[in-house]
Structure 1
Amino acid sequence: MRKFLSVLLAMAMVLSLTVTGFAIEDTATTRAPEVMTEEATMAGKTVILHTNDVHGAIEGYAYITALKADYEAKGAEVILVDAGDYSQGEVYVSDTKGLDAVEMMNVTGYDVVTLGNHEFDYGYAQLKENMTKADFKILCANVYGEDGTPIFDANYTYTTKSGVKIGFFGMETPETQTKANPALIKGLTFATDDAFTKAAADQVKALKDDDIVICVSHLGVDAESKPYRSTDLYAAVKGIDFIIDAHSHTVMMKGENGEPIQSTGTKFANIGVIVIDDASKKIESNSLYEIKEDTAKDATVAAAAQKIIDRIDKEYGAVFAKSKVELNGAKAPNGNRDSETNNGDLITDAMLWKVMQNKEGLTVDADHVVAITNGGGIRDYIKVGDVTKKDIKTVLPFGNTVAVIYVTGAELLEALEASTYSLPVGGFPQVCGISYTISTAVAYDANAETYPSSTYYGPKTINRVSINSINGKEFKVDDTYAVVTNNFCAEGGDTYYAFAAATSKFDTGVTLDMAVMDYITKELKGVIGEQYAAPQGRILLNPFKDVKVSSWFGKYVIDLYNDGIINGTSATTYAPNDTLTWAAALKLLLVSNGDLKAADATGADWSKNAIAKAAELGLVAADLDGAKAISRLEFCQVAAKLNKLAESKTESKFTDCTDGYVMALVDAKVIDGMTATTFEPDASLTRAQIAKIIYQLNLIEK
């Protein structure tokens, strides 16, 4: 215990104001502690220990309790603060809709908390009921009830035993009005625009006689949260001495520009430490205390957490299925908030399957039924091996139900456009029955005003999203489609305001987690198999400014890019009219056919490797000059040979080319010609043309 205290004091006093730079997620590190003497004392100090975004990691409360006890043993007065999102996440708190989180915080001895957006996940009525059990102050200055007053106290002054007055006020992200189910928070108003800033400024004014003013904010620093980030608030409101922040799960001890803002990450990755000198009545230092496996725990609080864990594990721990593949639970990059995932495919497949068990209740044909769920609602991985009810509940913890809405094609397009306005985004549409493309290089054309009661801007025009097909058939903007979704999106949650306006809808009452478990058990026979090893190609990304989905070559370029066969000349350009060299054309052809490994197609020797492999296959001479331009005729000849197409005896339809390999590709429906009667065999092959030829070659049965 004494060694632990020495480390602890070093972290609090030596780290102090020398801090690491701004860092996102878990990339920040704390400095190694320096050993202090056993006589080190914290008498004359007040220490604030703070947490944020605990998300049901209830074992962590034993760490902060032990930390508090050690500071107190050295003479410090300790205040415990949390910045929100404690009610949702792990099934250990979501099972009781957040109540067990409140009970654990009571046992731990928290003094002051604010609300996170996830405190509203189970509805305002449930939140109020939970907070009647709280032994701590709940602060929230910018969320108002129907009477126009804050739903909880806006501010609170904590007076230490030495007489230091610390003023706290709470600020909730306005994003809550769309991140929580709108139907469950009706009657609440979330301050936005100038009212948001005024709410904070009013609290600073109310606390003007206090020695220190601390904002406990659930705002975060993500770009998508602008202009309601903690950094925005600090810039706009004078008189805030420190911000204890949350929401973006950031690990930081100061803001991007040195602002006095601290955040601990998530799930007790760290505990925030703020040291106040009682004599000067000023903040002396701030730091992060990293939690490790051997960090001391308080036995009483650990036992309280274990009691909950044992109860839930007993109820939810039974194995009901197996998974042969890992299902992606990441946010981004390459996660549920910026791309198609196998987890999203499984969940939307299950939603659609569940509704189609009673398809007689639908008013549209089966080919007009699709499923969409917001990627932000997918919260964890499913690992290879046994799958329990707890695993599914952790992935889908919100208790949302499967709902069906009827929208026009135009409304469906609006929802997809709004929900992909920027990547990553919580509303990102994971889908079943829809194939769509996002042109990420195209700027979102936002309306001047936000959607009603939202921080999101609807689209003025549809220019980023194109729906390629619905259940393999042509998409029509005037048709009516049944969209199977969750009740959160159906009520206009996240970016789905277009769904809130649906003329007809119904709720099945079946929770998402139950629908998924039912699908796995009955349809998949208890095994999540290789069909979910990878995303199934429902969502395509087009990063190129010079490639439009509607252009003749757009489909080919976009599909091959998403298959990892081709890249652009830069991150945002494809240069479709540029011509190709022999080496470049051979590389694309061989990679697409599986004859050239990706490792050999990159690096300094890629040209030599491509020519050597082509020569080995008998396509070209080993001494070929790879830098020469390749003609249309030359490429068609090697492409036909590689695909084992014999020279065709069919009479050529072209007046300028009678080559048998060219006609073999015509017969195989790989090429058409420049016109009905011309091929232009000597013209240089372009990047647009090779994309179509390679795409069509891949359709040939081999």
Structure 2
Amino acid sequence: MLNRKKFLRAGASAALFALLLPLQAWAQVVILHTNDIHCGVDRNLTLARVAAYKKKQKALNPQTLLLDAGDAIQGEPLGKLTDGRAMVRILNGAGYDFAIPGNHEFDYGMDNFLSLAKKLDCGYTSCNFVRLDTGKPVLAPYRIFPFKERKVALIGVTTPGTLVSSTPRFFQDEKGHFIYGFCEDKAGVKLYRQVQDTVEEAREQGADTVILVAHLGSDGSIPVWSSRALLAHVTGVDGLIDGHSHEQYEVFYPDRNGKMIPVAQTGTKLQSLGRMVIEDDGTIRGELVRELMEPDPQVEKLVRKEMAKVDRALSQKVGESSVELVDSLEGQRAVRQKETNLGDFAADAFRTCFKADAALINGGSFRSGLPRGAWTRKTLLTLFPFGNQAVLRSISGQQLLDALELSVSHAPEENGGFLQVSGLTFVYDPAIPSPVKLDDQGNFARVEGERRVRQVMIGGKPLDPAEDYLVAGTSYILSDGGNGYTMFRDTTLVAEPGLSDVDILADYVQKQGVSEAYRKPEGQGRIRIDRK
């Protein structure tokens, strides 16, 4: 593994003097890359500066590409209020040459995604997003760029976890049968085979260099779908540009033959810009650019225009707080691995709205914290950008026990399926191997062995596996089986009032405020770690 501090210093230095180099100093092909922008076009480097950097690089070396490795169009109000259309307009303005869909490109529905794929100038590419009736890719599986002395193939790979991390029903027909898939199975074999076949096809079509552009990450919920696992099972790949896990790194992973392959990821919301260089002899080097110069004025103007539309729509004040509600602690997305005051507050809002026995909110729903001070509707939509609908269902105690086991099955690692709770308390032992078994699609199948979770109390009384409880939450978890919570699919729907998660929070803060009970960032002790 490359020393990251040394690597980051190199990237920062490159940004300062790269534009001063003469044309002959540039390598044959330069690939600039982003990932997990999540609508953060005005954050960190900003997309206007990325666009300007790309233009200047291309002026020096026409063999320059700009690509994105997924999760660009979702994550903030800019995406949600326009179903991704504003982001596509901005990506077009920035001059992207290639893009793949991450799991969140599908969050506005399949019809919308396919429409956006036509509106994006470079289109979307993915070799493993397939129709199940034919087994054929829905999108172009790869693209070959015929440069002067080298043909470079870029192959798109989308995480198979999309089926559970986006809304499952978007990939189903009206009868609830899956009609789309991502070459998923428990062993990863289908994914490896699909990618290997695509690599070989690209080589047969004359590609001299093959780069995987993947939305897989290094901490996938199912390890066999990580970028490292994929590379370990394929050959013929020269580099991998990654996304999904929101990390910044430039590392090397071995392929099936032991060849070390460069892998890069740029964090999230434009924390850095990746720069992968293919030398004249085919060798590849990479670096992260951490500083950029002047923005592109046209892209900056476009961003301001789109953001102004959002700001006007969301400037209404909905409440205020004297305490900060946090999603992150000590540099970790804590809401995905432990209780936080933000999770307590949101779950309480759902339980109060429905007068439910309990409420469950998955950690992956939270995309920011809530600051001390005034909150507007934009504040809440930045927190909950998905527009998940609020529901109330009748759920058995046994189903709740299974759900809590699935919730902590990855703990203490981050996992979007970790549940923040209201109305119930429990302890769990992470030293016990998780007894949860998943099916080929990453959904809950059963529990086998000693359970991690114990001492579950609901309403101050021990949970009864045979009793039914009223449980509030979002349709994503309780109705659609998101994050693998398929144990809830056949439960009884009691209420679905047509309110979004943002509506629930806005009503709660207006009526209840934010009490001192939420002052501790680590929450109120509803979820405790206890070792035997």
**1:340 matched residue in structure 2:** 339
Of 317, 323, 338, the match for 1:319: 317
> What is the correspondence of 1:212-611 to structure 2 with a 5 Å cutoff?
212-222=209-219, 224-255=221-252, 259-277=261-279, 279-280=280-281, 282-291=282-291, 295-330=293-328, 333=332, 335-356=334-355, 369-423=357-411, 424-447=414-437, 450-451=438-439, 453-454=441-442, 458-461=446-449, 463-490=451-478, 491-504=480-493, 506-524=495-513, 528-534=514-520, 535-542=523-530, 544=531, 547=532
Task: Tell me if 1:196 matches 2:183.
Answer: no
When the two structures are superposed, what TM-score results if normalisation uses the length of structure 2?
0.89
Change (3 A) 1:503 1:467: farther
Which of these two proteins has the greater Rg computed from alpha carbons? Answer: 1
Change (3 A) 1:463 1:212: same
Amino acid in the other structure paired with 1:480: D
Q: What's the secondary structure of 2:231's corresponding residue? A: helix
Task: Tell me if 1:153 matches 2:151.
Answer: no
Q: Note if contact 1:352-1:484 (Cα within 8 Å) is conserved in structure 2.
A: yes
Change (3 A) 1:522 1:462: farther
* Cα deviation, residue 480, structure 1: 0.6
Q: Note if contact 1:342-1:533 (Cα within 8 Å) is conserved in structure 2.
A: yes
When the two structures are superposed, what TM-score results if normalisation uses the length of structure 1?
0.68
* Cα deviation, residue 532, structure 1: 1.4
Structure 2 unmatched ranges of 5 or more? 173-178, 255-259
* Cα deviation, residue 430, structure 1: 0.5
Change (3 A) 1:134 1:248: same
Partners in 2 of 1:39 and 1:120 — Cα distance? 41
Of 43, 50, 53, the match for 2:36: 53
Partners in 2 of 1:394 and 1:385 — Cα distance? 15
Partners in 2 of 1:532 and 1:388 — Cα distance? 19
Farther off after superposition, 71-80 or 203-212? 71-80
Q: What's the secondary structure of 1:132's corresponding residue? A: helix
* Cα deviation, residue 503, structure 1: 4.4
Q: Note if contact 1:58-1:92 (Cα within 8 Å) is conserved in structure 2.
A: no
* Cα deviation, residue 481, structure 1: 1.1
Amino acid in the other structure paired with 2:265: S
Q: Note if contact 1:327-1:383 (Cα within 8 Å) is conserved in structure 2.
A: yes
- Post-superposition Cα deviations, 1:250-269, rounded to whole Å, max 9, x if no partner, equal 11112366531111111111
What is the root-mean-square deviation in Å for CA atoms of aligned residues?
2.3
Farther off after superposition, 52-61 or 409-418? 52-61
Change (3 A) 1:29 1:468: farther
Amino acid in the other structure paired with 1:432: S
- Post-superposition Cα deviations, 1:305-334, rounded to whole Å, max 9, x if no partner, equal 111111111221232211100101227747
Q: What's the secondary structure of 2:334's corresponding residue? A: coil
Structure 1 unmatched ranges of 5 or more? 1-18, 357-365, 548-702
Of 56, 68, 93, the match for 2:54: 68
* Cα deviation, residue 458, structure 1: 3.9
Partners in 1 of 2:275 and 2:189 — Cα distance? 32
Partners in 1 of 2:484 and 2:308 — Cα distance? 38
* Cα deviation, residue 383, structure 1: 1.1
Task: Tell me if 1:207 matches 2:205.
Answer: no
Partners in 2 of 1:422 and 1:381 — Cα distance? 22
Of 41, 59, 72, the match for 2:23: 41
Change (3 A) 1:301 1:436: same
Q: What's the secondary structure of 1:255's corresponding residue? A: strand
Amino acid in the other structure paired with 1:232: A
Farther off after superposition, 145-154 or 246-255? 145-154
Q: Note if contact 1:407-1:483 (Cα within 8 Å) is conserved in structure 2.
A: yes
User: More relative contact order in 1 or in 2 (CA 8 Å, sep 6+)?
Assistant: 2
Amino acid in the other structure paired with 1:211: D
Q: Note if contact 2:444-2:487 (Cα within 8 Å) is conserved in structure 1.
A: no
Q: What's the secondary structure of 2:350's corresponding residue? A: helix
Q: Note if contact 1:175-1:455 (Cα within 8 Å) is conserved in structure 2.
A: no
Q: Note if contact 2:199-2:237 (Cα within 8 Å) is conserved in structure 1.
A: yes
Change (3 A) 1:37 1:255: closer
Q: What's the secondary structure of 1:285's corresponding residue? A: strand
* Cα deviation, residue 425, structure 1: 1.7
Partners in 2 of 1:410 and 1:73 — Cα distance? 63
Aligned residue pair count: 503
Amino acid in the other structure paired with 1:120: F
